[in-house]
Amino acid sequence: MFRSKRKRQTRKDVHVAQLEAIVGPTEILYEREDLLSYDCDGFTVHKAMPKAVVFPKNTEEVAAIVRYCSVHNLPFLARGAGTGLSGGAIPLNGEVIISLGKMRNLLSVDYENRQAVVQPGFVNLKLTNSISNKGYYYAPDPSSQYVCTIGGNVAENAGGAHCLKYGVTTNHILGLEVVLPNGEIIEISEDGIPDSPGYDLMGLLTGSEGTLGIVTKITVRILKNPQGKQTVLAYFDNVEDGSRAVSGIISAGIVPAALEMMDKTAIEGVEAGAYPVGHPDDIEALLLIEVDGIIAGIDEQIDEILTVCKSRNVREVKVAESEEERGKWWANRKTGFGAMGAISPDYLVQDGVIPRSKLPEVLRRIKEISEESGLRIANIFHAGDGNLHPLILFDSRVPGETEKALEAGTACLKACADVGGSITGEHGVGIEKKEEMRFIFTDEELEAQTRIREVFNPDDLLNKGKLFPTPSRCMDVKKVIKDTVAVK
Amino acid sequence: MEIQDMPQTSITASSMLKDDKFGNNGVEMAVPGSEEEIADILHKANENGKKIAIISGGTKRGYGGLKNDYDILLSLAQYKGVVEHTAGDMTVTVRPGTTIKELQDFLREFDQMASIDPAWPEQATIGGVIAANESGPKRMKYGSARDLVIGLRVAYPDGTVIRTGGKVVKNVAGYDMNKLFIGSMGTLGVITEVTMKLRPVPKCESLVKLFVSKEQLEDLKTFVVQIQDSMIEPASLELVNPALSKKLFNRDVYTLLVAFEDVENSVRYQEKWIEDNKLSGMDMDVSSQTEAQAFWNAFSKVSPNSLTDDEVNSTRAVIKIGSKNLDVFEWLAEAETLQTKNMTIKMHGGLGHGITNAICTGNESEVKQAIERIRSRAEDRKGYAIVKHLPYALRHEIDVWGKKPAYFFLFEGIKKKNDPNNTLNHKRFAGGI
């Protein structure tokens, strides 16, 4: 970015020059060394180089870039902070990356109507920080919330630890401004008014992993902070007891704000990480349970949770005595993935979902997968909503181990799919889980989805090659047969 | 879990065919008893250029539609019952013809509920509620169909059956196809199965009614802002206009309906908060548990539906108005200026979600005029006004869906990709889709 303009111009191709004309010379990267940090996102197993990275400052620039790409048949994709864990922002086809990192303003807050309008590059946690002085917050809280952007959250339909009670991103989006793949700007549910007549495009766009349009403005719901909050930490000598405690809490009619679980290997990781709590090193599982709401009603729910834990052979259970202690427990949990770096050179995180009642069964299966592959698997997960995060620990320097880790990850997802679950609860499909889509969807079901893509993104220039498996031969054959029959 | 057979609804399918006040009827009627039959009926109709209308409870025949008769009226009324319920997972899978009441009664045995409170629970079916995206006052706390439905099975016009979503409460695999069908008015496919996430039945319920004179409406607004800015957590903040208050409570004032649903200590604390903070002149009444439940049941029947609306001397219309939350105040105030001596407007709106219902009753031309005025003001405010109940003949004079959005071509594209022959509920939806 700081090189002389003359030198740059000698290397620029015609498209880069045209894109530069749209955003200005300081807002484009196209030299190889500048592009290197855009060759992957949080999914680092796969890498590919973009053609260029552009940094538009407003919706009109995004639209102009998209129109240019569309007219000239250049593949393109949108990128936020690049924290995605499934490779959704990797430029598989040498895309022009449209970074929304410079569209990072909080545009307005309307406390009376409980909504805020942000640009897509606005960081998730910044929203809560900007409104907390008035006692408000934004509910979806993915672990990467201190850096991930709300635009990226919309693309991935991001979740978080507290979505058990408060829902995921889609439940908090009230309106979207979108640049369609042909460059047209549309505004859905302007002013955040719900149920706008017609098909629910907002619902379709949220979680579409950047394949249907580029979101340039987002109206979100904001919530008032709960009056009170209490957090419980429970240690168990075996995973089954921990799982049964999870079911017990849910069946007691309690809706915890969060209900998280970690197994022994995960605890070893977080204790070696940056935020150790001092968990005993010989326990098999821990639960982190949070209840929030009206203070007058919290104590009896906490009592009930303690009773449930005790009836499930808990070794030790305690309630956070201060906000500081609570913060410490959460920091330990939220940095859990990264902490695995302290006990393993590499790790791969998976993201399956299962019906809660299948928890013990699937955890047993994951243990078997670990034994079969010879790789350690740590489990950190949102137990309350059945969203598992097996972390497969491996060493990419050992030949063949990366492949083994990928295989183990696929096997974990298969285990989830086999009990009627899903292959992803919040990380998205991206390129990582494309083929695993077949574990849960038939060819017809996949086709029903690609039909929707064809409506929004008919030329498939926007984020091509993501989300859906490569069409199977069998499907192609079927189509040919169908056509032949029709001709007859 | 075994399939639960449920009692039949009292509305027999044949009685639907006789009346034509609301259109959306059929020359023939098909009453399938299985998903295969549904898919087969669709496939054959689609191949032979026949048009199908979908019905189950029959409460929404006055909701959109520019055809009196379709070739086939596909009734899902008999395709009902719980398919699967795993109490520990807090999810239920149910067939579309199950009424809301049947579903809630079933779940109540397990201290669970589907947290949705649409109108007419005894008659409205889950399939219809989802297809029309119906919601009620407690949407404020629990959300609407799009927040609760986690999976569907859908039969497309060509007879293909797909599953969308799944049976887990959190799922981002592929596009969120559930959203495509929620609120699509049966124009893309027939919902053959619905999976929803459930909630525990709240341990304690109460309803605080605040009666406020017309002169104090501004004070009430101040108080509502204060409630919203406090940390209390009402399940509803539904404002009722004087015409409707008169009918419900025999009081010619505005009424604010504040529901609390939580553990008992919390509910009592919040009732007291209202008592302590309400402004002078606001008259408060508290009803607990069964009394509150009975009230909400009665409240769910304030709007007419196509089974109950047998009015011959006057016209009735129900309008769903979407606005910003606090604009509900302006809408209720506006009702006062729109009413005439020949046309009343009963209105209620959610201050926590921005959906207002206006029930206009009276002289046909004045009802039409009221709809047009409401429509134009709603659209000026970037909102909308959908006429969700109107006799068939009038639906040709008034576009019940309002103006087309700039991105209407996407709606057309979606319809064309999924129902290229316009087999399903043709002309029932926004923009004549």
List, for residues B360-385, the tens digit of each pLDDT value: 999 999 999 999 999 999 999 999 99
Residue A295 has pLDDT above 50, yes or no: yes
Q: Is B330 part of any domain?
A: no
CATH of residue A314 = 3.30.70.2190
What pLDDT does residue B9 have? 35
Lowest average pLDDT, out of A38-52, A218-232, B7-21, B286-300, goes to B7-21
Quote the minimal CA–CA distance from B409 to chain A in Å. Answer: 9
Query: Which CATH number belongs to the domain containing residue B292 in this structure?
Result: 3.30.70.610
The amino acid occupying position B361 is T
Residue B432 lies in a domain: no
User: pLDDT-derived band of residue B18, with 50, 70 and 90 as boundaries?
Assistant: low
Among residues A99, A122, A145, the one where a domain terminates is A99
The pLDDT assigned to B5 comes to: 43
Partners of A114 on chain B (C-beta within 8 Å) are 228, 325
ipTM: 0.95
Contact B243, B315 (CB under 8 A): no
Closest-CA residue of A relative to B381 is A191
For residue A175, what is the domain's CATH number? 3.30.465.10
Q: Does A316 lie in the same domain as A351?
A: no
Q: Are B66 and B118 contained in the same domain?
A: yes
Specify if B371 maps to a domain.
no
CB distance B312 to B320 below 8 Å: no
- DSSP alpha helices (H): ranges in A280-354? 295-311, 323-334, 336-339
pLDDT at B7 over 50: no
Q: Are residues B118 and B254 in the same domain?
A: no
| Closest Cβ–Cβ partner in A224, A296, A429 for B269 | A296
Residues B312-367: tens digit of each pLDDT: 899 999 999 999 999 999 999 999 999 999 999 999 999 999 999 999 999 999 99
**Is residue B335 in some structural domain?**
no
Task: Please check the confidence at residue A10 and state whether its pLDDT lies above 80.
Answer: no
Domain boundary among B270, B299, B328: B299
- Mean pLDDT lowest among A346-355, A478-487, B320-329: A478-487
Q: Which residue in A112, A176, A195, A223 has the most chain B C-beta atoms within 10 A of its own C-beta, making it the best mutation to test that interface?
A: A195
What is the residue range of B56's domain?
13-200
Position A486 confidence tier, pLDDT thresholds 50, 70, 90: very low
Compute the nearest-CA separation of B321 from chain A (Å). Answer: 10
In chain B, the number of structural domains is: 2
Q: Is residue B196 part of a domain?
A: yes
- How many angstroms separate the CA atoms of B146 and B121, rounded? 18
How far are the Cα atoms of A400, A415, B110, B172 from residue A423, in angstroms, in the given order?
Answer: 24, 9, 29, 8
A257 part of contact set with chain B, CB < 8 Å = no
pLDDT of residue A12: 76
pLDDT in tens, A398-411: 999 999 999 999 99
Query: Cβ distance A198 to A170 under 8 Å?
Result: no
Mean pLDDT of A129-142: 97
Are residues B168 and B47 both part of a single domain? yes
Does residue A219 belong to the interface with chain B, where contact is any CB pair within 8 Å?
Answer: no
Contact list, B414 vs chain A (CB under 8 Å): 199, 452, 455
pLDDT digits over A449-465, tens only? 999 999 999 999 999 99
B201 touches chain A (CB under 8 A): yes
- CATH (domain of A424): 3.30.70.2740
- The answer to whether residues A216 and A129 belong to one domain is yes
Q: Say whether A193 and B414 touch across the interface (CB within 8 A).
A: no
Distance CA B299, CA A7 (A): 73
Q: How confident is the model at residue A472, as a pLDDT? A: 54
Model confidence at A160, in pLDDT bands (50, 70, 90)?
A: confident
Please tell me the distance from the alpha carbon of residue B310 to that of residue B302, in angstroms, as a whole number: 15
The whole-number average pLDDT for the span A46-51 is 95
Distance from CA of B18 to the nearest CA of A (A): 30
Is the CB of residue B22 less than 8 Å away from at least one CB of chain A?
no
Contact yes or no for B354 and A193 at CB 8 A: yes
Q: Report CB contact under 8 Å: A199, B414.
A: yes
User: Containing domain of residue A310, as a range?
Assistant: 226-343
| Section A195-220 average pLDDT | 98
d(CA B141, CA B352): 8
pLDDT at A5 over 70: no
Contacts A165 to B, Cβ<8 Å: none
Q: Are residue A416 and residue A461 in the same domain, yes or no?
A: no
Output the pLDDT for position A162: 86
- Residues A471, A425 share a domain: no
Asked if B54 and B166 sit in the same domain, the reply is yes
Please give the residue that has the higher pLDDT: either A140 or A476. Answer: A140
Name the pLDDT band for B17 (thresholds 50, 70, 90). Answer: low
% of residues, chain B, pLDDT over 90: 94
pLDDT greater at residue A161 or residue A53:
A53
* Whether residues A53 and A134 fall in one domain: no
CATH number at residue A9: 3.30.43.10
Confidence of residue A427 (pLDDT cuts 50, 70, 90): very high
Over 60: is that where the pLDDT of B8 sits?
A: no
Domain boundary among A224, A244, A279: A224
Which residue, B200, B219, B252, sits at the end of a domain?
A: B200
Same domain, A159 and A176: yes
Q: Sign (positive/negative) of CA torsion B143, B147, B148, B152?
A: positive
Instruction: State residue B133 phi and psi, 5-degree precision.
Output: 50, 55
| pLDDT value for B409 | 98
Q: Is B143 part of a structural domain of the chain?
A: yes
For B241-268, what is the mean pLDDT? Answer: 98
**Domain match, A354 and A337 both:** no
- CATH code, domain with B135: 3.30.465.10
Query: pLDDT of B73-116, one tens digit each?
Result: 999 999 999 999 999 999 999 999 999 999 999 999 999 999 99
Please check whether residue A345 touches B, CB under 8 A.
no
Higher pLDDT, A4 or B398: B398
When pLDDT is averaged across residues A284-298 and rounded to a whole number, the result is: 97
Are B181 and B256 in a shared domain?
no
- Res A11: pLDDT: 61
- B194 with B231, same domain? no
Residue A442 at interface with chain B, using a CB cutoff of 8 Å: yes
- What pLDDT score does B11 carry? 39
State how far residue A108 is from chain B, nearest Cα, in angstroms: 15
Decide if A224 and B431 are in contact by the 8 Å CB cutoff: no
In a shared domain, residues B226 and B170: no
Looking at every residue in chain A, the average pLDDT score rounds to 93
Whether residue B184 sits in one domain with residue B111: yes
Cβ-Cβ contacts under 8 Å, B133 against chain A:
195
Q: Is residue B156 part of a domain?
A: yes
Collapsing DSSP states into helix, strand and coil, what is residue A178? strand
- Same domain membership, residue A290 and residue A249: yes
Chain A CB contacts of B231 under 8 Å are 135, 224-227, 294
- Domains contained in chain A, number: 5
- Residue that finishes a domain, picked among A287, A317, A343: A343
Residue A476 pLDDT greater than 90, yes or no: no
Please provide the average confidence, as pLDDT, over all residues in chain B: 95
Q: Are residues B185 and B209 in the same domain?
A: no
> Are A243 and A311 members of one domain?
yes
pLDDT of residue B3: 41
Shared domain check, A206 and A112: yes
Identify the domain boundary among B180, B200, B220: B200
pLDDT beyond 60 at A192:
yes
- B240 and B268 share one domain: yes
How many beta-carbon contacts under 8 Å exist across A and B? Answer: 260
Average pLDDT over residues B32-52: 97
What number is the average pLDDT over the span A307-313? 97
Check whether residue B132 and residue B253 sit in a common domain.
no
Whole-number Å distance between alpha carbons of B128 and B56: 7
Provide, as residue numbers in chain A, all residues whose Cβ is less than 8 Å from the Cβ of B90. 250, 356
- Same domain (yes/no): B18, B135: yes
Q: Give yes or no for residue A487 having a pLDDT over 60.
A: no
Say if B264 falls within a structural domain.
Answer: yes
Q: Please, which pLDDT band fits residue B311 given cuts at 50, 70 and 90?
A: confident
Q: Give the whole-angstrom CA distance, residue B319 versus residue B333.
A: 16
Provide mean pLDDT across the span B270-284: 97
